[in-house]
Amino acid sequence: MSGKSGSVVIEFRDVGLYLGGKEITQNVEFNVRKGEFVCVIGASGCGKTTLLRLVSGLYQPTTGSVHVDGKKVDGPSRDVAIVFQDYSRALLPWRTAAGNVSLALEAIGMPRAERADRIHALLGKVGLAQHAAKYPSQLSGGMQQRLQIARSLAQGASILLMDEPFGALDAMTRQSLQDEVLELAADTGATVLFVTHDLEEALYLGDRVVALYSNPGRIARIVDIPLTRPRNQLSTREEPDFLHLRRELFGLMEEIHA
């Protein structure tokens, strides 16, 4: 299903950003709705990560504004979590899976007596209930990613920002993690803004794809992805709509690079 009709949760309102005297983004304007999965693509250095930093409050726009749940972003918020590519470094190695989730609950001040149930429920939600006592080094990459997501949910985040999370992985692992993320997003109702270099990954995952021009980063096109869900690594990638959109986006990226 594409074109989610929920309320708008992320709004870029004519966002411009200068850093160190350089114009990094210009006139960026788009919305992401509740539960939507939006992918951002574009050449290296075009400002994809910058958009995530603007949503997470790590950067403040020079002009325009970014809003989350109708509120102007002016710093980090618990509603928004960044899922890092380097799973192993994002988790505390000396804490078990349960301990890593507990940390987020401790941070929001949840009393100890309530924590165990909540940890169990969150680990269950991401399919790690049987691995609560394991340390991150004993978990696969996919499990570590799910643990990061459980921790994000524990902190109360309903918006996940993912920055090329599968960049360094082999094709098979990448595909299985793509499916895990889609399943988790569907199960939790999270809103996802996902940065990738990979056009086909963007098409496979997204409800919409935002393609950026470089220097400065600005929107080239926003494309709806009307492919049915759940998606399937074989059949979705063979659908005529997928192939058509792939051709269209490749053409667009060639134009952008020309």
Ligand X SMILES: Nc1ncnc2c1ncn2[C@@H]1O[C@H](COP(=O)(O)OP(=O)(O)OP(=O)(O)O)[C@@H](O)[C@H]1O
Q: Does 50 bind ligand X (CB under 6 A)?
A: yes
Q: Does 49 bind ligand X (CB under 6 A)?
A: yes
Q: Contact with ligand X (CB under 6 A): which of 28, 32, 46, 98? A: 46
Q: Contact with ligand X (CB under 6 A): which of 9, 15, 24, 193? A: 24
Structure tokens at 170: 């082999």
What one-character DSSP code corresponds to residue 46?
S
Judged by beta carbon, residue 146 or residue 218, the one nearer ligand X is: 218
Please confirm whether the linkage preceding 136 is cis (ω < 30° from 0): no
Judged by beta carbon, residue 42 or residue 64, the one nearer ligand X is: 42
Measured CA to CA, the distance from residue 38 to residue 202 in angstroms comes to 8
Residue pair 253/199 in contact by the 8 Å Cβ criterion? yes
Q: Contact with ligand X (CB under 6 A): which of 47, 61, 136, 206? A: 47
SS3 string of 102-165?
A: HHHHHHCCCCHHHHHHHHHHHHHHCCCHHHCCCCHHHCCHHHHHHHHHHHHHHCCCCEEEEECC
Q: Contact with ligand X (CB under 6 A): which of 12, 28, 48, 178? A: 48
Judged by beta carbon, residue 159 or residue 210, the one nearer ligand X is: 210
Q: Contact with ligand X (CB under 6 A): which of 6, 7, 29, 45? A: 45
Q: Contact with ligand X (CB under 6 A): which of 22, 111, 171, 240? A: 22
SS3 string of 161-193?
A: EEECCCCCCCHHHHHHHHHHHHHHHHHHCCEEE
Q: Does 56 bind ligand X (CB under 6 A)?
A: no
String of contacts with ligand X for each residue 164-193, x by CB under 6 A: ------------------------------
Structure tokens at 133: 């006592």
Please confirm whether the linkage preceding 216 is cis (ω < 30° from 0): yes
Q: Does 220 bind ligand X (CB under 6 A)?
A: no
Q: Binding-site residue total for ligand X (CB under 6 A)?
A: 13
Q: Does 218 bind ligand X (CB under 6 A)?
A: no
Judged by beta carbon, residue 136 or residue 216, the one nearer ligand X is: 216
Measured CA to CA, the distance from residue 17 to residue 65 in angstroms comes to 10
Contacts of 185 (CB under 8 A, 6+ apart): 35, 37, 160, 192
Judged by beta carbon, residue 54 or residue 245, the one nearer ligand X is: 54
Binding positions for ligand X, rule: CB under 6 A: 19-20, 22, 24, 42, 44-50, 197
